[in-house]
Amino acid sequence: MTLDTRVYVLDEISYKDVWLKCNQLIGATENTRFTDEQQKTWRSGESFVEPGNSWWIWNKPGQGLCALLDVSYRPGVPLRSAEQAAAHDEDICNLPGGSWYDEESGPCDGSDHRPACWLEISFDTGYGYRGDNGEGCGDLHARLVAELGQWLDERTVRWLWKNEFTGDVHSGYERLIDLCSGGFEATAWYQTAVLPAISARIGEGGAS
């Protein structure tokens, strides 16, 4: 089992710049193997590329990185427009693992559709992960999101992140603590990086 934390980048920015920053955060190097390709459509057991498919750039697994990383994008346009985000996608909404799927939730009402965004980033780490400093996968993801968020804030690029544990989408740093294991809020990075960012966002009325 893995923890897959998503970051939605709402404003225009080069996917390559974001990709490089995310790779820096997870410790990738110029020797890290990756693929940049248009995503395929699967139908009746076969895969093929359709003109409207999005693109994604992703690191190949098995390279010893703390998280699998992929970034979904469309060249020169948003990954999902507001209209696309609002539309009901039969292929996504009615499949396990889709944007809302829950056998007990009933028909899709659109409330859990993925948000409109320029890019969608995935950090994916096994539940059994333990870093050299004792951090678990949730601690790691809280740090990655916080550091990426600060980098985006410096460029006045808006962003959201999704907590896979709850399915909730948040617009700031405050709820990153929900990912952390007990006591991790006392660590140096949280005290020096996350808390000041939370305070600044609250001062602007932007944390949630």
Query: What pLDDT does residue 60 have?
Result: 97
The pair of structure tokens assigned to 97 is: 């693992």
Asked whether residue 104 is assigned to any structural domain, the reply reads no
CB of 151 within 8 A of CB of 143? Answer: no
CA distance linking residue 196 with residue 157, whole number of Å = 18
Question: How far is CA 73 from each of CA 76, 141, 159, 185, rounded to the nearest angstrom?
Answer: 9, 21, 15, 33
- Name the least confident of 21-30, 73-82, 135-144, 176-185: 176-185
Neighbours of 6 (CB within 10 A): 20
CA 186 to chain centre: 24
Asked whether residue 150 is assigned to any structural domain, the reply reads yes
Asked whether residue 92 is assigned to any structural domain, the reply reads no
Total count of domains within the chain: 1
Neighbours of 60 (CB within 10 A): 11
Residue 100 or 139, more confident: 139
Asked whether residue 90 is assigned to any structural domain, the reply reads no
Asked whether residue 173 is assigned to any structural domain, the reply reads yes
| pLDDT classification of 126: cutoffs 50, 70, 90 | very high
Query: What pLDDT does residue 41 have?
Result: 81
pLDDT tens digits, 73-116: 999 999 998 887 776 555 555 444 444 444 555 555 555 668 89
CB of 177 within 8 A of CB of 183? Answer: no
Asked whether residue 122 is assigned to any structural domain, the reply reads yes
Asked whether residue 89 is assigned to any structural domain, the reply reads no
Query: What pLDDT does residue 49 have?
Result: 81
- With residues binned 3-state (H G I as helix, E B as strand, rest as coil), the percentages for the chain, rounded to 5, are 30, 25, 45
Asked whether residue 107 is assigned to any structural domain, the reply reads no
pLDDT tens digits, 186-205: 566 666 666 676 666 555 55
Query: What pLDDT does residue 43 have?
Result: 79
How many residues would you count in the chain?
Answer: 208
Which range of residues forms the domain containing residue 19?
2-80+115-204
Beta bridge partners of 2: 126
